């Protein structure tokens, strides 16, 4: 979320461009298992662009609001932990099962809630407030954070753990500013995270989630 339609559109376009670069590097270096996580900035950029439409439509419960909520509440809850799980080395995957399972459960429950209820958006000065009726909201939020932030913190590489720290700290700061209706800064966090993911996908072999190191150490097994 940014503080205006123009800011959301500009930030979303830039973040999506970083996502294209990340995906291109992953494909060029034949790191196809890194591709879902490398393409995360594309999703984040699209998310910002969708919100620019929410701004221009004045909020409400239109299609753009629903798409924004589906990406934020369900798609990211699955995309992030499974992207980390796919990119991780075998020794790391065991500790990523819980975040992945948590993401599936949360995504399903939130999707069901959005299907049976209504998501609305309200323009509040320089922020957009989204409302959806969630049962057991604290538990759902905790499970969501386990799936997204938790999976990154449990990843085997320093850069991904740094991304987890950035997302966690950024969420706290953004929430504090959003509650004041002063302005939203999530687009800045998404931009920093996207650049960090570009650095991760550009890493030399032997770094990252630990898979490259394991692969290069196996005779006859070509590195990714």
For 8-28, what is the mean pLDDT?
96
Q: Is the pLDDT of residue 220 over 50?
A: no
Which residue is it, tokens 């323009």? 123
According to the model, what pLDDT value does residue 134 have?
82
Q: Is the pLDDT of residue 156 over 90?
A: no
Instruction: Look at 49 and 1; give whichever has higher pLDDT.
Output: 49
CB 110 within 8 A of CB 99: no
Instruction: Look at 76 and 178; give whichever has higher pLDDT.
Output: 76
3-class secondary-structure state, position 217: coil
Alpha carbons 168 and 146: distance in angstroms, whole number: 10
Q: Is the pLDDT of residue 141 over 80?
A: yes
For 46-54, what is the mean pLDDT?
96
Of 19-28, 163-172, 202-211, highest mean pLDDT: 19-28
Q: Is the pLDDT of residue 175 over 70?
A: no
Tokens of 33: 């298992």
According to the model, what pLDDT value does residue 219 have?
36
Orientation of helix 63-70 relative to helix 97-116, angle to 10°: 160
Alpha carbons 117 and 111: distance in angstroms, whole number: 10
The sign of the CA dihedral 61, 6, 14, 88 is: negative
3-class secondary-structure state, position 60: strand
Alpha carbons 80 and 101: distance in angstroms, whole number: 12
């Amino acid at each position: 979320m940014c503080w205006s339609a123009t800011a959301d559109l500009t930030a979303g376009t830039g973040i999506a461009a970083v996502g294209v670069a990340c995906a291109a590097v992953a494909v060029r270096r034949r790191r196809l298992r890194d591709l879902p996580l490398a393409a995360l900035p594309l999703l984040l950029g699209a998310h910002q662009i969708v919100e620019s439409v929410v701004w221009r439509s004045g909020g409400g419960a239109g299609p753009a609001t629903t798409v924004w909520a589906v990406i934020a509440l369900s798609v990211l809850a699955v995309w992030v932990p499974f992207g980390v799980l796919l990119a991780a080395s075998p020794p790391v995957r065991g500790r990523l099962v819980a975040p992945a399972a948590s993401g599936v459960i949360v995504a399903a429950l939130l999707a069901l809630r959005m299907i049976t209820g209504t998501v609305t958006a309200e323009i509040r000065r320089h922020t957009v407030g989204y409302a959806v009726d969630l049962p057991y909201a604290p538990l759902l939020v905790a499970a969501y954070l386990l799936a997204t932030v938790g999976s990154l913190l449990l990843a085997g590489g320093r850069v991904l753990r740094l991304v987890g720290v950035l997302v966690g700290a950024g969420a706290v700061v953004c929430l504090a500013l959003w509650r004041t209706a002063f302005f939203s800064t999530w687009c800045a966090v998404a931009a920093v995270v996207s650049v960090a993911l570009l650095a991760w996908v550009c890493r030399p072999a032997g770094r990252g989630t630990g898979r490259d190191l394991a692969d290069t150490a196996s005779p006859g097994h070509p590195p990714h």
